Structure formats: C-alpha cells, structure tokens
Amino acid sequence: MSSLIKTNASGELGVQVLPLPLTQSTTQSTPRKNRWPARLDVLQSATGFALAVFLMAHMFFVSTILISHQAFYSVARFFEGAYFLGKPYPILVSGVVAVILALFIGHAALAMRKFPAGYRQFSAFRLHKNRFQHGDTSLWWIQVLTGFALFFMTTVHLYDMLTQPALIGPFESADRVWTGNMWPLYLGLLFAVELHGGIGLYRLAIKWGWLEGHNPRQSRRRLAIVRHSISAFFITLGLVTLLAYVDLGRAHADHAGERYTPPQSLSSIDRH
Ligand code: HEM
C-alpha cells in the first residue's frame, strides 16, 4: 500500500503517478511541462499568507476593547470611513469582508486538492504517518483537521460581519458574544485559526526557504520556536480579549441591543 503514496519535502501527501504506456504519440513529441500545479501552489501560499497577515491585524483591532470602549468604537468607525468621509458607511466593512471571504474560499478550494481523496488514500497516509514518525508530517495532518473545522466556523462569522457591518461596537459586539451566544464559536475559531495559521506560516517558511541558515536542522528548530511563540501570543491575546467581551456582554445583558454612544465630548461623527 505504501507504494501508492509519496510525500514531498514538506511532508505533503501526493499520489504516485503511474507511467503511461509508450505509444507513438508519447514517444514522438516531448510533452510540454504543465505549469498549473506550480502556479496553484504559489496561489495557495499567497492567499494563505494574505489571510495570516490580515488575521494578525484583525486580532490587534479587535483587542482594542482592552484599552477602552471608546478605543474599539473609534476603530470600528474608522473602518466605516467616518473620519475621512464625514459619516460612517458600514458598506465599506462589507466590502472588506467580501474580499476576505473570496480569499478564504479560494484558499480552501486550493487546499482541497491536497486532502486525501477517499478512505484508501486516507488509510495509506495514516500508515505512512505512523511509520514515518516525522513531526512535520503530523503537522500537515493537524492543518487538514483545523482547515476542515475552519470551513464551518469562519463562514458563520464572516456571514455575520458581511450582513451586519453596522453592528460592530463595544456593546454591539459584547452583546453578540454573550447574549447572541457566539462565544463558543469564537473560542473554537480562535484555537483552530491560530494553530492553522501558525503551522501554515511555518510550512511556508520551509517551502520557500525563508530564514534558511546553513544548518537545515537548526533552521527548522528556530522556525518551530517562532511558530510556537506566534501561536501562543495570539491565543493568549485572543483569550483575554474574548474574556473582556464576555464580561462586558454579561454586564450589558439586561440592555442587550442598546448601542454604544460615545460621551458627548468625543462624539463628532453622526452614526446615521
Ligand atoms: C473582514 C473580515 C472580518 C471582520 C470585519 C471581523 C470582525 C470581528 C469583530 C468585530 C470581532 C469582535 C466580536 C464581534 O463583534 O462579534 C471579531 C472576533 C473574532 N474574529 Fe473576526 N472578523 C473578520 C474575519 C475573521 C476571520 C477570517 C477570522 C478567522 C478565520 C476571524 C476570527 C475571529 C475570532 C477568533 C474572534 C474572537 C476574538 C477573540 O477571541 O479575541 N475573524 N471579528
């Protein structure tokens, strides 16, 4: 069974291509190289990288609730263009969400090419993974599992943001998290996306030779430390932030649905 599978340098599962029988047409002309697999690979890396960078920025924006209600309110209105267009336009947020959604769907579709197709490939991979006992091959498997979970969880969140962009604010978000029961989804999403993103960046670095030193073993070890640090930092930041929304949501539960209005002295923009 193991002759059915082959892995590349980064531990990905591929199916061995059986040689074609030599016919007149295959022997006469040299077949042109198909560049599409390489192009799709670059596209998958690029969409993954863009999503990872977006997510890091997103976690910082969302965590401004830890500074103050007003800080998060200002960030939300900023993305609605309130400070340069005179009034907030939530449709701008929907536009950004649509771009992120397109990147997400594109990335997921490209990643699906590498999922095991059917039980036969799956058990061949499992056998190979257990025999091989290589950490990076197991990492690939964690990415398949977290990626699969992200299909469902991210879509719910993005649909919410796409259709209710105006309901982003300290009370609005806290009410959604607590009274709207979104916190279990955010908790799962946080762990899945931070693991997936951390492993994804690590694999990108190995695949494209970023931060490569003279000693490959040492480079891998150094990259693994960076990966663990990034995941740990964003999971901690995410948990503390989520706790702040839960806390605020519980305190605001009796007034759920009431929107935050900034103190008069700070209110220079019209919300409607
Ligand atoms: C443009 C797209 C996005 C927007 C506008 C957005 C906005 C927000 C906002 C405002 C919150 C605070 C809670 C709330 O209001 O419900 C939040 C929380 C969260 N978002 Fe997003 N989000 C976007 C994309 C994503 C993506 C792609 C992911 C992951 C795949 C993600 C993961 C999370 C997580 C895990 C939380 C919980 C926060 C925490 O634990 O600190 N978001 N998002």
Q: Where are the domains of the chain?
A: 38-119+147-259
Sign of CA dihedral 135, 237, 178, 159: negative
Q: Answer whether 58 contacts ligand 1 (Cβ < 6 A).
A: yes
Helix, strand, coil share (%) of the chain residues, nearest 5: 70, 0, 25
CA distances to 74, 112, 223, 236 from 107, in Å: 31, 9, 23, 26
- Amino acid of residue 188: G
At residue 6, does pLDDT exceed 60? Answer: no
Tell me the C-alpha distance between 156 and 144, whole Å.
Answer: 19
**Rounded distance between C-alpha atoms, residue 121 and residue 213, angstroms:** 35
| Beta carbon of 206 within 6 Å of any ligand 1 atom | no
Sequence-distant (≥ 6) Cβ neighbours of residue 272 within 8 angstroms? 87
Q: Assess whether pLDDT exceeds 80 at residue 235.
A: yes
Residue 19 pLDDT exceeds 60? no
Q: How far is the CA of 58 from the centre of ligand 1 (A)?
A: 7
What pTM, to 2 d.p., does this model score?
0.84
pLDDT over 70 (residue 151) = yes
* 184-206 confidence digits (pLDDT tens): 999 999 999 999 999 999 999 98
Give the whole-number percent of the chain exceeding pLDDT 70: 84
CA distance 259 to 272: 12
Report pLDDT for 2.
45
Any atom of ligand 1 within 6 Å of the Cβ of 241: yes
Q: Structure tokens of 123?
A: 């058990």
Q: Say yes or no: domain 38-119+147-259 is CATH 3.40.50.300.
A: no
Tell me if residue 59 falls in helix, strand or coil: helix
Average pLDDT, integer, range 246-253: 98
**Higher-scoring residue by pLDDT: 25, 102:** 102
**70-129 tens-digit pLDDT:** 999 999 999 999 999 999 999 999 999 999 999 999 999 998 887 777 777 777 777 777
- pLDDT of residue 9 exceeding 50, the answer is no
Are the C-beta atoms of residues 75 and 64 closer than 8 Å to each other?
yes
